[in-house]
Chain A
Amino acid sequence: MDGVGNGPRVLVEFSFFGLFDVSISQTVLSSFLVMVVLLILSWRLGKGLQKRPTRRQVLVEKGVSILYDLVEDTMGKHNSRFTPFIGALFCSSVCGTLISLFGGVFRSTTADLSTTVTWALIVTVMVWYQNIKQNGFFGWLKGFTEPVAVMTPMNIISEIAQPISMSFRHFGNIAGGGVLTTLIYGALAAGSSLILSWVPNEIIRSIPFLQVGIPAFLSIYFDLFSGFIQALVFCMLTMVYVGAACPPPEETAA
Protein backbone atom coordinates (compact mmCIF):
# COMPACT_ATOMS: atom_id res chain seq x y z
CA MET A 1 0.00 0.00 0.00
CA ASP A 2 3.03 2.19 -0.32
CA GLY A 3 2.53 5.35 -2.34
CA VAL A 4 -1.20 5.79 -1.86
CA GLY A 5 -1.96 9.44 -1.56
CA ASN A 6 1.63 10.41 -2.09
CA GLY A 7 2.30 13.53 -4.06
CA PRO A 8 5.11 13.92 -6.58
CA ARG A 9 8.52 13.46 -5.01
CA VAL A 10 11.06 16.20 -5.27
CA LEU A 11 13.97 14.89 -7.28
CA VAL A 12 16.39 17.78 -7.14
CA GLU A 13 16.46 20.89 -5.06
CA PHE A 14 19.03 23.56 -5.73
CA SER A 15 19.62 27.16 -5.01
CA PHE A 16 19.37 29.54 -7.91
CA PHE A 17 22.47 31.70 -7.41
CA GLY A 18 21.51 31.93 -3.78
CA LEU A 19 18.46 33.99 -4.59
CA PHE A 20 15.81 31.32 -4.21
CA ASP A 21 15.51 27.56 -3.98
CA VAL A 22 14.35 25.72 -7.08
CA SER A 23 12.79 22.29 -6.67
CA ILE A 24 12.49 19.85 -9.52
CA SER A 25 9.71 17.38 -8.86
CA GLN A 26 8.71 14.22 -10.69
CA THR A 27 6.02 16.22 -12.44
CA VAL A 28 8.57 18.64 -13.86
CA LEU A 29 10.64 15.75 -15.19
CA SER A 30 7.61 14.11 -16.82
CA SER A 31 6.37 17.39 -18.18
CA PHE A 32 9.77 18.20 -19.65
CA LEU A 33 10.04 14.75 -21.19
CA VAL A 34 6.54 15.04 -22.66
CA MET A 35 7.45 18.38 -24.13
CA VAL A 36 10.65 17.07 -25.69
CA VAL A 37 8.91 14.01 -27.13
CA LEU A 38 6.07 16.09 -28.56
CA LEU A 39 8.49 18.62 -30.01
CA ILE A 40 10.51 15.91 -31.72
CA LEU A 41 7.31 14.29 -32.95
CA SER A 42 5.90 17.51 -34.38
CA TRP A 43 9.25 18.30 -35.96
CA ARG A 44 9.38 14.86 -37.56
CA LEU A 45 5.74 14.84 -38.63
CA GLY A 46 5.67 18.42 -39.89
CA LYS A 47 8.76 17.93 -42.03
CA GLY A 48 8.82 17.31 -45.77
CA LEU A 49 5.15 17.79 -46.43
CA GLN A 50 4.13 17.18 -50.01
CA LYS A 51 1.15 17.94 -52.20
CA ARG A 52 0.88 14.22 -52.87
CA PRO A 53 0.97 12.98 -49.30
CA THR A 54 2.71 9.92 -48.03
CA ARG A 55 0.75 7.55 -45.81
CA ARG A 56 2.23 9.14 -42.72
CA GLN A 57 1.33 12.60 -43.92
CA VAL A 58 -2.26 11.51 -44.55
CA LEU A 59 -2.55 10.42 -40.94
CA VAL A 60 -0.95 13.63 -39.67
CA GLU A 61 -3.24 15.73 -41.84
CA LYS A 62 -6.23 13.73 -40.67
CA GLY A 63 -5.36 14.37 -37.06
CA VAL A 64 -4.74 18.06 -37.62
CA SER A 65 -7.98 18.43 -39.60
CA ILE A 66 -9.95 16.63 -36.89
CA LEU A 67 -8.57 19.08 -34.36
CA TYR A 68 -9.33 22.08 -36.59
CA ASP A 69 -12.85 20.78 -37.23
CA LEU A 70 -13.40 20.24 -33.51
CA VAL A 71 -12.23 23.74 -32.66
CA GLU A 72 -14.22 25.32 -35.48
CA ASP A 73 -17.34 23.40 -34.51
CA THR A 74 -17.05 24.40 -30.88
CA MET A 75 -15.70 27.94 -31.12
CA GLY A 76 -16.74 28.98 -34.60
CA LYS A 77 -14.75 29.43 -37.79
CA HIS A 78 -13.33 32.79 -36.71
CA ASN A 79 -11.59 31.17 -33.74
CA SER A 80 -9.63 28.53 -35.63
CA ARG A 81 -6.43 30.36 -34.64
CA PHE A 82 -6.78 28.77 -31.18
CA THR A 83 -6.33 25.30 -32.65
CA PRO A 84 -2.55 25.04 -32.08
CA PHE A 85 -3.01 25.96 -28.44
CA ILE A 86 -5.83 23.45 -27.98
CA GLY A 87 -3.73 20.86 -29.76
CA ALA A 88 -0.73 21.52 -27.55
CA LEU A 89 -2.91 21.38 -24.46
CA PHE A 90 -4.59 18.14 -25.56
CA CYS A 91 -1.30 16.44 -26.45
CA SER A 92 0.35 17.55 -23.20
CA SER A 93 -2.62 16.29 -21.25
CA VAL A 94 -2.86 12.89 -22.94
CA CYS A 95 0.88 12.27 -23.01
CA GLY A 96 1.27 13.66 -19.51
CA THR A 97 -1.30 11.17 -18.27
CA LEU A 98 0.03 8.24 -20.25
CA ILE A 99 3.67 8.76 -19.28
CA SER A 100 2.91 7.02 -15.99
CA LEU A 101 2.47 3.80 -17.98
CA PHE A 102 6.25 3.67 -18.30
CA GLY A 103 6.41 3.37 -14.53
CA GLY A 104 9.54 4.04 -12.55
CA VAL A 105 10.24 7.65 -11.85
CA PHE A 106 7.65 8.87 -14.30
CA ARG A 107 4.50 10.14 -12.67
CA SER A 108 1.51 11.53 -14.55
CA THR A 109 1.86 15.28 -14.86
CA THR A 110 -1.89 15.60 -14.63
CA ALA A 111 -1.93 13.71 -11.32
CA ASP A 112 -0.29 16.81 -9.88
CA LEU A 113 -2.61 19.65 -9.01
CA SER A 114 0.13 22.14 -9.91
CA THR A 115 -0.10 21.16 -13.57
CA THR A 116 -3.86 21.33 -13.92
CA VAL A 117 -4.08 24.53 -11.88
CA THR A 118 -1.51 26.13 -14.17
CA TRP A 119 -3.40 25.07 -17.26
CA ALA A 120 -6.74 26.23 -15.87
CA LEU A 121 -5.22 29.59 -14.91
CA ILE A 122 -3.81 29.97 -18.42
CA VAL A 123 -7.31 29.40 -19.74
CA THR A 124 -8.75 31.94 -17.30
CA VAL A 125 -6.13 34.50 -18.28
CA MET A 126 -6.90 33.86 -21.94
CA VAL A 127 -10.61 34.38 -21.31
CA TRP A 128 -9.93 37.61 -19.42
CA TYR A 129 -7.51 38.83 -22.07
CA GLN A 130 -10.00 38.16 -24.86
CA ASN A 131 -12.80 39.82 -22.89
CA ILE A 132 -10.72 42.91 -22.22
CA LYS A 133 -9.61 42.98 -25.85
CA GLN A 134 -13.23 42.83 -26.97
CA ASN A 135 -14.93 45.12 -24.49
CA GLY A 136 -12.15 47.12 -22.87
CA PHE A 137 -11.16 46.87 -19.22
CA PHE A 138 -14.27 48.53 -17.84
CA GLY A 139 -16.48 46.70 -20.29
CA TRP A 140 -15.05 43.48 -18.91
CA LEU A 141 -15.72 44.60 -15.33
CA LYS A 142 -19.20 45.69 -16.32
CA GLY A 143 -19.79 42.21 -17.73
CA PHE A 144 -19.88 40.89 -14.16
CA THR A 145 -22.99 42.93 -13.38
CA GLU A 146 -24.97 41.40 -16.20
CA PRO A 147 -27.76 40.49 -16.64
CA VAL A 148 -28.68 42.23 -13.34
CA ALA A 149 -26.48 43.91 -10.75
CA VAL A 150 -27.67 41.49 -8.07
CA MET A 151 -25.90 38.71 -9.94
CA THR A 152 -22.48 40.31 -9.47
CA PRO A 153 -21.31 38.14 -6.52
CA MET A 154 -22.53 35.01 -8.31
CA ASN A 155 -20.69 35.99 -11.44
CA ILE A 156 -17.49 36.62 -9.52
CA ILE A 157 -17.81 33.30 -7.72
CA SER A 158 -18.44 31.47 -10.98
CA GLU A 159 -15.41 33.18 -12.49
CA ILE A 160 -13.28 31.94 -9.60
CA ALA A 161 -14.91 28.53 -9.55
CA GLN A 162 -14.22 27.98 -13.21
CA PRO A 163 -10.46 27.31 -13.04
CA ILE A 164 -10.85 25.51 -9.73
CA SER A 165 -13.44 23.13 -11.08
CA MET A 166 -11.49 22.59 -14.27
CA SER A 167 -8.23 21.83 -12.54
CA PHE A 168 -9.71 19.65 -9.81
CA ARG A 169 -11.78 17.66 -12.30
CA HIS A 170 -8.76 16.75 -14.34
CA PHE A 171 -6.47 16.23 -11.40
CA GLY A 172 -9.04 14.25 -9.43
CA ASN A 173 -9.81 11.85 -12.21
CA ILE A 174 -6.20 11.01 -12.98
CA ALA A 175 -4.93 11.02 -9.39
CA GLY A 176 -7.99 9.11 -8.21
CA GLY A 177 -7.36 6.52 -10.90
CA GLY A 178 -3.81 6.15 -9.68
CA VAL A 179 -4.91 5.77 -6.08
CA LEU A 180 -7.53 3.25 -7.03
CA THR A 181 -5.05 1.26 -9.06
CA THR A 182 -2.67 1.15 -6.12
CA LEU A 183 -5.45 0.07 -3.79
CA ILE A 184 -6.52 -2.67 -6.19
CA TYR A 185 -2.93 -3.87 -6.45
CA GLY A 186 -2.90 -4.16 -2.66
CA ALA A 187 -6.24 -5.91 -2.61
CA LEU A 188 -5.13 -8.35 -5.28
CA ALA A 189 -1.95 -9.10 -3.35
CA ALA A 190 -3.97 -9.72 -0.20
CA GLY A 191 -6.42 -11.89 -2.16
CA SER A 192 -3.73 -14.00 -3.72
CA SER A 193 -1.94 -14.54 -0.43
CA LEU A 194 -5.29 -15.56 1.07
CA ILE A 195 -5.87 -18.10 -1.71
CA LEU A 196 -2.31 -19.41 -1.45
CA SER A 197 -2.37 -19.60 2.35
CA TRP A 198 -2.53 -23.43 2.27
CA VAL A 199 0.78 -23.63 0.38
CA PRO A 200 3.52 -24.54 2.80
CA ASN A 201 6.30 -22.88 0.82
CA GLU A 202 6.91 -19.34 2.00
CA ILE A 203 8.21 -18.07 -1.36
CA ILE A 204 5.32 -19.46 -3.44
CA ARG A 205 2.83 -18.13 -0.90
CA SER A 206 4.16 -14.61 -1.35
CA ILE A 207 3.54 -14.60 -5.14
CA PRO A 208 0.70 -12.13 -5.81
CA PHE A 209 -0.48 -14.06 -8.87
CA LEU A 210 -3.78 -12.14 -9.06
CA GLN A 211 -1.80 -9.04 -9.91
CA VAL A 212 -1.03 -10.57 -13.29
CA GLY A 213 -3.42 -9.42 -15.99
CA ILE A 214 -6.24 -7.97 -13.95
CA PRO A 215 -4.63 -4.53 -13.40
CA ALA A 216 -4.01 -4.26 -17.13
CA PHE A 217 -7.74 -4.10 -17.78
CA LEU A 218 -8.18 -1.56 -15.03
CA SER A 219 -5.36 0.42 -16.55
CA ILE A 220 -7.22 0.53 -19.86
CA TYR A 221 -9.97 2.40 -18.08
CA PHE A 222 -8.07 4.48 -15.54
CA ASP A 223 -5.16 5.48 -17.74
CA LEU A 224 -6.12 5.24 -21.40
CA PHE A 225 -9.84 5.95 -21.33
CA SER A 226 -9.86 8.35 -18.44
CA GLY A 227 -6.74 10.10 -19.74
CA PHE A 228 -8.29 10.71 -23.12
CA ILE A 229 -11.67 11.68 -21.75
CA GLN A 230 -10.24 14.11 -19.22
CA ALA A 231 -7.95 15.68 -21.82
CA LEU A 232 -10.94 16.04 -24.13
CA VAL A 233 -13.13 17.47 -21.38
CA PHE A 234 -10.45 19.94 -20.37
CA CYS A 235 -9.95 21.04 -23.96
CA MET A 236 -13.69 21.23 -24.61
CA LEU A 237 -14.15 23.45 -21.57
CA THR A 238 -11.24 25.60 -22.69
CA MET A 239 -12.80 25.96 -26.11
CA VAL A 240 -16.21 26.79 -24.67
CA TYR A 241 -14.86 29.41 -22.23
CA VAL A 242 -12.49 31.05 -24.70
CA GLY A 243 -15.04 30.76 -27.50
CA ALA A 244 -17.65 32.50 -25.38
CA ALA A 245 -15.18 35.35 -24.87
CA CYS A 246 -14.63 35.58 -28.63
CA PRO A 247 -18.00 35.97 -30.31
CA PRO A 248 -18.22 35.97 -34.11
CA PRO A 249 -17.04 39.21 -35.75
CA GLU A 250 -20.56 40.12 -36.94
CA GLU A 251 -21.85 40.21 -33.39
CA THR A 252 -19.01 42.37 -32.23
CA ALA A 253 -19.58 44.81 -35.05
CA ALA A 254 -23.31 45.03 -34.39
Chain B
Amino acid sequence: MEFLTGFESFVGVNFWTCLFTLCNLLILYKFMKKLLFKPVKNMIDSRQKEIDDLYADANQSKEAAAELKSRYEARLTEASEEKEAILKEAYRKAQLRDEEMLREAQNKAAQTLRRADEQIAMEKKRAMNDIKDEVSVMAVDIASAVLARDIKKNEHSELIDSFIENLGESHD
Protein backbone atom coordinates (compact mmCIF):
# COMPACT_ATOMS: atom_id res chain seq x y z
CA MET B 1 0.00 0.00 0.00
CA GLU B 2 1.44 3.29 -0.98
CA PHE B 3 1.50 5.74 1.87
CA LEU B 4 -0.03 9.12 1.20
CA THR B 5 2.00 12.26 1.60
CA GLY B 6 1.13 15.83 2.35
CA PHE B 7 -2.44 16.83 2.94
CA GLU B 8 -3.86 13.45 2.01
CA SER B 9 -1.60 11.80 4.54
CA PHE B 10 -2.73 14.24 7.20
CA VAL B 11 -6.40 13.33 7.02
CA GLY B 12 -5.93 9.94 5.44
CA VAL B 13 -6.63 6.54 6.87
CA ASN B 14 -3.99 3.85 6.76
CA PHE B 15 -5.24 0.29 6.88
CA TRP B 16 -2.29 -1.09 8.80
CA THR B 17 -2.39 1.65 11.36
CA CYS B 18 -6.07 0.90 11.87
CA LEU B 19 -5.37 -2.79 12.28
CA PHE B 20 -2.57 -2.22 14.77
CA THR B 21 -4.64 0.31 16.67
CA LEU B 22 -7.50 -2.14 16.87
CA CYS B 23 -5.26 -4.92 18.11
CA ASN B 24 -3.55 -2.65 20.60
CA LEU B 25 -6.83 -1.43 22.03
CA LEU B 26 -8.25 -4.92 22.32
CA ILE B 27 -5.10 -6.26 23.97
CA LEU B 28 -5.01 -3.27 26.27
CA TYR B 29 -8.67 -3.80 27.16
CA LYS B 30 -8.19 -7.51 27.89
CA PHE B 31 -5.14 -7.06 30.03
CA MET B 32 -6.22 -3.92 31.83
CA LYS B 33 -9.41 -5.71 32.73
CA LYS B 34 -7.53 -8.75 33.94
CA LEU B 35 -4.64 -7.01 35.66
CA LEU B 36 -6.14 -3.80 36.97
CA PHE B 37 -9.89 -3.39 36.87
CA LYS B 38 -11.04 -6.82 38.01
CA PRO B 39 -8.69 -7.16 41.00
CA VAL B 40 -9.15 -3.57 42.13
CA LYS B 41 -12.91 -3.76 41.77
CA ASN B 42 -12.99 -7.09 43.59
CA MET B 43 -10.86 -5.64 46.35
CA ILE B 44 -13.12 -2.60 46.69
CA ASP B 45 -16.23 -4.74 46.65
CA SER B 46 -14.93 -7.27 49.15
CA ARG B 47 -13.80 -4.48 51.45
CA GLN B 48 -17.17 -2.82 51.08
CA LYS B 49 -18.85 -6.10 51.87
CA GLU B 50 -16.66 -6.60 54.90
CA ILE B 51 -17.48 -3.12 56.15
CA ASP B 52 -21.18 -3.69 55.50
CA ASP B 53 -21.01 -6.98 57.38
CA LEU B 54 -19.22 -5.32 60.26
CA TYR B 55 -21.83 -2.61 60.43
CA ALA B 56 -24.64 -5.15 60.22
CA ASP B 57 -23.02 -7.16 63.01
CA ALA B 58 -22.59 -4.05 65.12
CA ASN B 59 -26.20 -3.06 64.56
CA GLN B 60 -27.34 -6.53 65.46
CA SER B 61 -25.30 -6.54 68.65
CA LYS B 62 -26.65 -3.12 69.49
CA GLU B 63 -30.20 -4.27 68.99
CA ALA B 64 -29.58 -7.39 71.07
CA ALA B 65 -28.05 -5.27 73.81
CA ALA B 66 -31.02 -2.90 73.75
CA GLU B 67 -33.39 -5.82 73.96
CA LEU B 68 -31.47 -7.31 76.87
CA LYS B 69 -31.48 -3.96 78.58
CA SER B 70 -35.21 -3.54 78.24
CA ARG B 71 -35.71 -7.08 79.43
CA TYR B 72 -33.56 -6.51 82.49
CA GLU B 73 -35.28 -3.24 83.19
CA ALA B 74 -38.64 -4.96 83.01
CA ARG B 75 -37.35 -7.65 85.30
CA LEU B 76 -36.02 -5.05 87.71
CA THR B 77 -39.36 -3.28 87.93
CA GLU B 78 -40.99 -6.65 88.31
CA ALA B 79 -38.63 -7.47 91.15
CA SER B 80 -39.27 -4.21 92.89
CA GLU B 81 -42.99 -4.75 92.57
CA GLU B 82 -42.57 -8.23 93.95
CA LYS B 83 -40.54 -6.86 96.80
CA GLU B 84 -43.23 -4.37 97.61
CA ALA B 85 -45.87 -7.07 97.47
CA ILE B 86 -43.83 -9.30 99.75
CA LEU B 87 -43.29 -6.46 102.17
CA LYS B 88 -46.97 -5.62 102.16
CA GLU B 89 -47.87 -9.26 102.71
CA ALA B 90 -45.36 -9.55 105.54
CA TYR B 91 -46.69 -6.39 107.10
CA ARG B 92 -50.24 -7.67 106.81
CA LYS B 93 -49.28 -11.01 108.33
CA ALA B 94 -47.42 -9.32 111.12
CA GLN B 95 -50.40 -7.15 111.82
CA LEU B 96 -52.67 -10.19 111.83
CA ARG B 97 -50.32 -11.98 114.14
CA ASP B 98 -50.14 -8.93 116.31
CA GLU B 99 -53.87 -8.78 116.60
CA GLU B 100 -54.07 -12.49 117.22
CA MET B 101 -51.46 -12.30 119.91
CA LEU B 102 -53.27 -9.41 121.51
CA ARG B 103 -56.53 -11.27 121.36
CA GLU B 104 -54.90 -14.38 122.77
CA ALA B 105 -53.35 -12.38 125.55
CA GLN B 106 -56.66 -10.79 126.28
CA ASN B 107 -58.31 -14.19 126.27
CA LYS B 108 -55.64 -15.57 128.52
CA ALA B 109 -55.98 -12.64 130.84
CA ALA B 110 -59.74 -13.05 130.89
CA GLN B 111 -59.33 -16.77 131.54
CA THR B 112 -56.86 -16.15 134.29
CA LEU B 113 -59.17 -13.60 135.78
CA ARG B 114 -62.09 -15.99 135.56
CA ARG B 115 -60.06 -18.77 137.11
CA ALA B 116 -58.94 -16.47 139.84
CA ASP B 117 -62.56 -15.53 140.47
CA GLU B 118 -63.51 -19.18 140.55
CA GLN B 119 -60.68 -19.93 142.92
CA ILE B 120 -61.68 -17.06 145.08
CA ALA B 121 -65.22 -18.32 145.15
CA MET B 122 -64.01 -21.82 145.93
CA GLU B 123 -61.74 -20.56 148.68
CA LYS B 124 -64.57 -18.54 150.03
CA LYS B 125 -66.78 -21.59 149.96
CA ARG B 126 -64.15 -23.70 151.63
CA ALA B 127 -63.51 -21.08 154.23
CA MET B 128 -67.23 -20.87 154.75
CA ASN B 129 -67.38 -24.65 155.12
CA ASP B 130 -64.48 -24.57 157.56
CA ILE B 131 -66.15 -21.85 159.48
CA LYS B 132 -69.37 -23.81 159.41
CA ASP B 133 -67.59 -26.87 160.75
CA GLU B 134 -65.88 -24.92 163.43
CA VAL B 135 -69.01 -23.09 164.28
CA SER B 136 -70.88 -26.37 164.52
CA VAL B 137 -68.18 -27.79 166.76
CA MET B 138 -68.20 -24.58 168.76
CA ALA B 139 -71.98 -24.68 168.98
CA VAL B 140 -71.91 -28.28 170.15
CA ASP B 141 -69.24 -27.35 172.69
CA ILE B 142 -71.18 -24.31 173.81
CA ALA B 143 -74.40 -26.25 173.97
CA SER B 144 -72.80 -29.10 175.89
CA ALA B 145 -71.23 -26.61 178.19
CA VAL B 146 -74.50 -24.82 178.61
CA LEU B 147 -76.56 -27.89 179.05
CA ALA B 148 -73.76 -29.60 180.91
CA ARG B 149 -75.20 -32.56 179.59
CA ASP B 150 -73.68 -35.11 177.42
CA ILE B 151 -75.42 -34.82 174.23
CA LYS B 152 -74.56 -37.36 171.75
CA LYS B 153 -72.47 -35.62 169.20
CA ASN B 154 -73.61 -37.58 166.26
CA GLU B 155 -77.31 -37.23 166.96
CA HIS B 156 -77.27 -33.52 167.12
CA SER B 157 -74.65 -32.49 164.67
CA GLU B 158 -77.09 -33.04 161.84
CA LEU B 159 -79.58 -30.76 163.44
CA ILE B 160 -76.99 -28.09 164.05
CA ASP B 161 -75.68 -28.38 160.49
CA SER B 162 -79.03 -27.67 159.07
CA PHE B 163 -79.34 -24.77 161.39
CA ILE B 164 -76.05 -23.33 160.31
CA GLU B 165 -76.87 -24.02 156.70
CA ASN B 166 -79.88 -21.93 157.09
CA LEU B 167 -77.82 -19.36 158.82
CA GLY B 168 -75.24 -19.35 156.04
CA GLU B 169 -77.89 -19.06 153.41
CA SER B 170 -79.51 -16.17 155.10
CA HIS B 171 -76.01 -14.62 155.37
CA ASP B 172 -75.38 -14.97 151.67
Contacts and interface: CB of A to CB of B under 8 A. Distances in A.
Most chain B beta-carbon contacts within 10 A, residue among A24, A35, A68, A119: A35
Interface stretch (A106-114, A143-151, A187-195, A223-231): A106-114
The size bracket of the interface on B is 35 or more
Interface in A31-81: 31-32, 34-35, 38-39, 42-43, 45-47, 49-51, 53, 57, 60-61, 64-65, 68
Interface string A163-180: 000000001000100000
Contacts of A45: 36, 40
B43 A39 contact: no
A83 B37 contact: yes
B35 A42 contact: yes
Interface string A7-34: 1101001000000111111011001101
A49 B28 CA distance: 20
Interface stretch (B9-17, B127-135, B150-158, B161-169): B9-17
Contacts, number: 147
A27 B11 contact: no
Contact of B35 (A22, A43, A51): A43
A88 interface: yes
A35 B24 contact: yes
B40 A61 contact: yes
Contacts of B13: 113-114, 117
23 contacts: A5-B6, A5-B7, A7-B4, A20-B1, A22-B16, A23-B1, A23-B3, A24-B20, A25-B14, A27-B21, A32-B24, A45-B40, A46-B37, A46-B40, A51-B47, A84-B37, A88-B25, A89-B25, A114-B12, A114-B18, A114-B21, A117-B13, A122-B25
